[in-house]
Amino acid sequence: MQIAQALEDLTQVLGERLSRSKSDLEQHGRSESYFPMTPPDAVAYPENASEVRRIVQICAQHAIPVVGWGAGTSLEGHGLAVRGGVVVDFSRMNKVLEIRPADMDVTVQPGVTREALNEELRATGLFFPVDPGANATLGGMAMTRASGTTTVRYGSMRDNVLGLHAILADGRRIHTGTRARKSAAGYDLTALFVGSEGTLGLVTELSLRLHGIPEATSAGICSFPDMGSAVAAVQETIQMGIPMARIEFACADTARAFNAYAGTDMAQAPHLMVEFHGSESSVAEDAERFAEIVADHGGSAFQWSAREEERRALWAMRHNGYYAILASRKGARAVVTDICVPISRLAQAVEETQHDIAASPISGPILGHVGDGNFHAILLIDPDRPDQLEAAKALSHRMGQRALQLGGTCTGEHGIGMGKTGLMEAEHGEAWDVMGQIKQALDPQNIMNPGKLVRGT
């Protein structure tokens, strides 16, 4: 590794857009999570794919790690240069390149955030549905296979990336996929890159599916005597084929945090928040049928509304869930967990997790995407108490093991990064080695985001 020569060569290409300022290095050495500060050797701000290619070529020549950076909202330390090297910040590659309303697709640079994209789409009657909460970049969301509140209806990044351009570790520039809605032409490299966390290459362009803004939307909230009843109501709704656009769960502790944060008056009980998309008559019918199912399962009267402002208030509350929970304990930091199980095991997974948290020295309200079987415990720790961080990490690890025992996965949407590599062997067995073989074939020097996802990198 000849870092000095590499940085000189990079400066020749990028000029002042190769930054070594302390503030820049520190800003790109921090994560949203509990990982220690890990500043890179430099931060590069490319403006186009050719520059990204030159960056990778120079780093390859000197065997220097290359780590992509979107909005820095990863919860598993994806953007941290744990072996040093260059962080490639895509904030200057933030253009929406082409919107094609007739095909309901769009081509973007990776640094566009999901909110910026939806802003640009506003006049078209279309929207991009994947919504992980944070205003992440679309490149980052693709690399972590992000999903969120609308996945039950519109799918995750896996379902909404039509194709992409990437620079590989040896500087080759490839494209994957086409603009056709489906293809049977060879290995699905788009799906291989989506979720690869920057370990196979850097994405320089994405084509995404769009969806029509529904003519009408209804949304509402209700509470249940226990988690099992809430999940049973969701299962029945899915089986009846009532198309939910969102279906979110909040535990009693989360409801309490909402009340304190937003001045609401929620019962201290498990809640479901749900939304339907369709025509005016269909969303009313969906809400009525859902209300009947809720009543059958002992839920409270289902209060719903098709009015925009009430709906916005509901989802603003949900989106602020993380901050509401964080605010419920002064000075706390959070370790956010993320397991996903078959829906028949969801109630059990939540209840066992609640018992495990109750027996620990920390607290951890729960919320999640119940239609996908995915939930998060927000484990609250005192940042000055290393024992609490250890307790949270142990709880998170046990949650992952529990998910695997129940036929699920250790991460529904946050990814592996550095935080979950300890569960990959248990989840994938020898298939983890297959991932390693693919990585080795495409990046034999291990320069693309080393230390993440793959064993022993």
Interacting positions 424-443 with a second copy (CB under 8 A)? 424, 427-435, 437-438, 440-442
Of 352-411, binders to a second copy (CB under 8 A) are 372-374, 403-404, 407-411
Q: Which is nearer to a second copy, 39 or 450 (CB)?
A: 450
Least CB distance to a second copy at residue 429 (A): 7
Least CB distance to a second copy at residue 153 (A): 11
Least CB distance to a second copy at residue 8 (A): 29
Of 196-255, binders to a second copy (CB under 8 A) are 196, 211-212, 214-215, 235, 238-241, 243
Least CB distance to a second copy at residue 369 (A): 9
Cβ proximity of 177 and 190 under 8 Å = yes
Q: Count the helices and strands in the chain (H runs, E runs).
A: 17, 19
Number of amino acids touching a second copy (CB under 8 A): 95
Member of 24, 89, 105, 131 binding a second copy (CB under 8 A): 105
Member of 268, 279, 303, 405 binding a second copy (CB under 8 A): 279
CA angle 344, 266, 249 (to 5 degrees): 20
Distance CA 171, CA 442 (A): 11
Distance CA 108, CA 223 (A): 40
Cβ proximity of 189 and 173 under 8 Å = no
Distance CA 308, CA 185 (A): 43
Cβ proximity of 194 and 157 under 8 Å = yes
Least CB distance to a second copy at residue 279 (A): 7
Residues 6+ apart with CB under 8 A from 409: 339, 340, 341, 403, 427
Closest to 414 (Cα-Cα) out of 370, 368, 365: 368
Q: Which is nearer to a second copy, 168 or 267 (CB)?
A: 168
Member of 59, 413, 447, 457 binding a second copy (CB under 8 A): 413
Q: Is 174 in the site for a second copy (CB under 8 A)?
A: yes
Least CB distance to a second copy at residue 178 (A): 5
Binding part of the chain for a second copy, among 179-187, 221-229, 246-254, 310-318 by CB under 8 A, reads 179-187
CA angle 284, 289, 293 (to 5 degrees): 145
Member of 147, 218, 446, 457 binding a second copy (CB under 8 A): 147
Cβ proximity of 282 and 290 under 8 Å = no
User: Tokens representing 252?
Assistant: 């009693």
**Rg (the chain; Cα; Å):** 22
Distance CA 224, CA 230 (A): 6
Q: Residue 285: how many CA atoms within 13 Å on its side-chain side? A: 9
Binding part of the chain for a second copy, among 31-39, 144-152, 265-273, 358-366 by CB under 8 A, reads 144-152
Member of 81, 414, 448, 450 binding a second copy (CB under 8 A): 414
Q: Which is nearer to a second copy, 146 or 332 (CB)?
A: 146
Q: Which is nearer to a second copy, 149 or 328 (CB)?
A: 149
Distance CA 297, CA 86 (A): 54
Distance CA 11, CA 5 (A): 10
Member of 37, 48, 125, 292 binding a second copy (CB under 8 A): 125
Member of 268, 281, 303, 405 binding a second copy (CB under 8 A): 281
Residues 6+ apart with CB under 8 A from 330: none
Q: Which is nearer to a second copy, 183 or 303 (CB)?
A: 183
Q: Which is nearer to a second copy, 212 or 225 (CB)?
A: 212
Of 30-89, binders to a second copy (CB under 8 A) are none
